Each structure stands twice: as C-alpha cells, then as structure tokens.
Amino acid sequence: MKVVLAKPPMPQESVMILTLPIGLGYIGSYIKKHIPDAEVVVIDSDVLGYHSVDKFVRRIKEEKPDVLGITVFSHAVLVTREVLNRIKSELGKSVCLVVGGPHVNAIREKIFRDLPSADFGIISDGELGLTALVESLQSGRLKEDINRIAGLIYRDNGITCVNANKFNPDIDEYDFIDYKNIINVDGYLRGGSPMGLFHRRSPVGTIITTRGCPFLCRFCASGLNTGKKIRSRSPAHVVAEIKDLVVNYGAREIHIMDDNFTFSKKHVRDICQGIANESLDISIAMPNGIRLDTVDEEMLSVMKKVGFYSLGFGIETASADTLKYISKGITIELIKEKVALAKRAGFQTVGFFILGFPNESVKDNYNTGRFPDKIGLDFASFGNFTPLPGTSLYDELVQKAEIRDDFLPSFSSGEITYSPNGMTLKELKKIQVRVIFFYYLNPQRIYKIIGLLKLKDIKYVFRRLFLILFRPKIKER
C-alpha cells in the first residue's frame, strides 16, 4: 500500500514562506508506525516548486499511490478541486482520494459539494482516521469498517455520512516526524523560510508541543480543527524531538508552532528544565503567537534562560469594542502591561493585527495601524479580516447576507475579499496600503529588518510588499 500525503499547488506569487508541513509529517509518521509495510511519501508543492496543477498531477501520476491524502485550506479549495478532478479523470478508481485539514473540519457534511471528486474526508486527528482507513483498504474490510472509522466522511447511497470524531488525549502516541523515511527535512532546514521570516540562527527546526484551544475568539477556527481541550505532549517527548533535530539534523534554532504553548505554566517550566538538562545550545522563537493573558514574569524568566528570544502576540486590534465583539478575552490595558513585561524581560516582541473587522470604522483601522508603536512592539504584521468557514463570525455574516454560505477566503498578500458594511473593498485596500507603508517607512525599522533578514528570505519580503502595494485593482462584490 502506497500513501502519498500532499499540499496542493499554489501560484508562486502566493508562497510567502517555506515551512515544514508538520501536520502531514505527523500523520505520515503515524501511518508508517502502525502499518510498517506501507510506503509513505509527503509531497510539499511549495518546497518542490510545483506551482501549477500540471506539475503536481504529473508527480502524483509518477508516484502511483493507492491513497492520496490532500490537506485542504479554505483559500485553496478551487485549486484543490481542479487537482482532484484531474486525478480522478486520469487515474480513475486506481487511487483513493482523501481530503482533510481546516476546510474539511469547517464544513464537514458539505465537503463533497466543494470537492465532488473526493472519495472520503477526515476530520479531527488525521493520524487516527486516515491510518484506520488505510488499514481497512489494505485488508479489504472497508465495507465492514466504514461506519466505525473515527472522523470519516463518506457517501452511502448518495447520502453524506459523518462518523463521530475523536481527539486523542495522549498525543505522545504520535511519534515525532520520521524525517528519514517520509520527508526530506533538509529542504526546510537549509532552504526554507520560516514563519515570520526572522530568525537568529540557521537551520531552523519546527515542532508542535500542544494541540487544542479552549478560547472563544469568534474569527478563529483553531478549536474546530484541534479540539477545545488543551492536549499536551509530555515534556520528555518534546525535548527528545528538539534534541533529535539538533543532534541528527543540525538545527540551531527551534520554532514552536503551538496556538497555546504558554497555557500551562508547568508545561513551559518542565520543557525549559528539560532543555537545560540536555545543555542544548539553541535559540527558540514563537512565531505563531502566544496569548498575552497566559504569561507572567516568572514564566518569561524561565523561557529566556534556555534560549527563547522572540514572542509573537495575537493582539488583533486597538479597539476595545472590537476586542469584546470578537470575544478575544483581553483588554487594551492588559495588552500594554504584558507587552511591557516581555520587553523588560529582554524579548523581541511581534504583534499580529487584523484590519477590517465587521463593525470597524476607518478611524478604528488607522488607530490599529498606529498601535504597535504606541505600545513599544519591535515588529508588527497587518493582515485583513477574512471570514473563515466554521467560525461564529462567518455564520453571523452569512445570516446578515454580507457573504454567501459558500464564501471562500483568501490569504494571499494584498488580496481583500471582505470589507465591513459601509466600507468598500477599495477603501479597505487603501487603508491597508497606507498602514503598512507608513509603519515600515520608519528608518530605524528598515535598518532593524535589514539586519535581521537572511539573504534567502529577502525575496519573500519584497514579494509580499509588492503584492500588498501593487496587486491588480479590486473588483467589488
């Protein structure tokens, strides 16, 4: 049985970073562990330079998989649909087409509406559902097992069925990624461009130490994808993976990609103690962001001692009303207090902001653009609000007829597909361009960025800025 796990191709101009597809790596490693005779291959279109459907389909045909699993993000539905249609028409029933990932978790029983050529969908922990599906296909027992496979979406006489999902409470069961057999990590360690782009040392390895999110942010689908309950790997398991990346693959910096690494003080403290016990000479960053309301002085001190140096914070907006509206659970006062705390502890601080939330005014957005400098952040990133399927804000906007129920978001830099009532897409685009232009025009900031960027990352920075400032004219809805 040959299993190929893949990221679909995206246009080259849409590729802003090159990071390890961690989810596919963990799933592939779990399949290999439980089905040792299976051949598992991970294909990342970004790192391999497959920016067209033709190139991607050609590679899949060369691999001749029995099962093709594709991770689907909502912004990539259209290209994924084209890929699946092509593969279905050219390879027929010789390959089983399985889709998973954020978009599948979001729309579940509607997945065959968006991706009609898919044979199955998988929700929740892909390790469990996809491994069980492959085992059933291999043994010829799919008919008997189909309604028992956790998180499986399938058709039964034209009716879409969704099996109960399962989030494994013991994620230590998911061994760290098998770099020797299923994915070539060198392409990421030495040729990749990590999330956030900035890093002190190279090569950069990436890991996840927790899954799940209990918070109720109305614009975010994290809890939908990984569960509402925090599930933590044991500190020993995490430190063993970090050591493996350092000793066997030469990593000098680690990026922790959790949504909630700092949720448990004990989790943070024990991992830091394990790193200290192993005397690992590494730098550590949190480019995916941590919650401001989970950090304190003691935690930051412990992290700093073992090499943590950069913290990202999801701040989102400078509007107190918007923070309440999106159920962020933090206040402007807390934001100022915790950013100052991190600065005093010696951390590089990065804030993530979103322009164009529903109900926000032009003034609100410009205030958000000025907020990073007011609170002393080192760097800031400004994205535009994008309604994500499965979130309560998405559902609200559908009910208000501001978007259709098949609305597909975009995360391409400079591409705006939603604007609040009373504001056109062109007006929001103008705000975004001005905010970014004036923020990065600061000479001290330019000097600091140039000093931090590695040569191989510069093209991504200029590509992103070019698209934000000069993307073709917007067509209003």
In this prediction, residues 372-397 reach a mean pLDDT of 94
Cα 206 to Cα 189, 252, 254, 288, 371, distances in angstroms: 9, 11, 6, 11, 30
* pLDDT bucket at 330, cuts 50 / 70 / 90: very high
Are the CB atoms for 227 and 211 separated by under 8 Å?
A: yes
Q: Which residue has the tokens 């996840």?
A: 208
* pLDDT bucket at 471, cuts 50 / 70 / 90: low
What are the start and end residues of each CATH 3.80.30.20 domain in the chain?
185-470
What are the start and end residues of each CATH 3.40.50.280 domain in the chain?
2-162
Q: For 344-357, write each residue's pLDDT tens digit.
A: 999 999 999 999 99
Q: For 211-259, write each residue's pLDDT tens digit.
A: 999 999 999 999 999 999 999 999 999 999 999 999 999 999 999 999 9
Are the CB atoms for 265 and 300 separated by under 8 Å?
A: no
Are the CB atoms for 332 and 370 separated by under 8 Å?
A: no
> Which of 9-23, 72-86, 448-462 shows the lowest mean pLDDT across its residues?
448-462
* pLDDT bucket at 265, cuts 50 / 70 / 90: very high
The pLDDT of residue 190: 61
The pLDDT of residue 15: 57
Percent with pLDDT over 90 in the chain:
74
Q: What is the CATH number of domain 185-470?
A: 3.80.30.20
In this prediction, residues 286-303 reach a mean pLDDT of 96
Inform me whether the pLDDT recorded for 173 exceeds 80.
yes
In this prediction, residues 64-83 reach a mean pLDDT of 94
Q: What is the CATH number of domain 2-162?
A: 3.40.50.280
* pLDDT bucket at 159, cuts 50 / 70 / 90: very high
**Strand ranges across the sheet with 152-156:** 39-44, 2-7, 67-71, 96-100, 120-122, 152-156, 159-162
Q: Which residues contact 443 (CB under 8 A, 6 or more apart)?
A: none
Q: What angle do CA 87, 134, 176 make, to 5 degrees?
A: 105
Inform me whether the pLDDT recorded for 458 exceeds 70.
no
181, 185, 179: which is closest to 47 by C-alpha? 185
Output the average pLDDT for the chain.
90
Inform me whether the pLDDT recorded for 270 exceeds 80.
yes
Instruction: At 353, give phi and psi (nearest 5°).
Output: -125, 155
* pLDDT bucket at 464, cuts 50 / 70 / 90: low
